[in-house]
Amino acid sequence: MKIKGIKMSTPTYNALVSVFCRSGEIEAAEKMLENMKWAECPPNVSTYNTILAAYGRSSDIVQMEKWLEELRKAGLTPNVVTYNTLL
């Protein structure tokens, strides 16, 4: 994805995912994460942690479990932030 000639990076996408999550638009954040995969900007642990935290704020344990599994399927390793979010 390019915006006015600027190539998006993983940190830029992460900022957008964070904005969507904080505004309660978690589905939009999930779509942004999917876009990252196609834009050659792979999501990192921080991307998944942001979505996990959003579902944690709404006490949606089922979605938290799903996204933890997605993180692992992506070949990433949960970090201390991930585990604190799950608590």
Q: What is the pTM of this model?
A: 0.90
Closest CA to 23 of 1, 61, 50: 50
CA distances from 39 to 1, 2, 29, 64, 66 (A): 6, 9, 15, 25, 23
Model confidence at 8, pLDDT cuts 50, 70, 90, reads confident
pLDDT tens for 32-56 read: 999 998 888 999 999 999 999 999 9
User: Residue ranges of the domains in the chain?
Assistant: 2-86
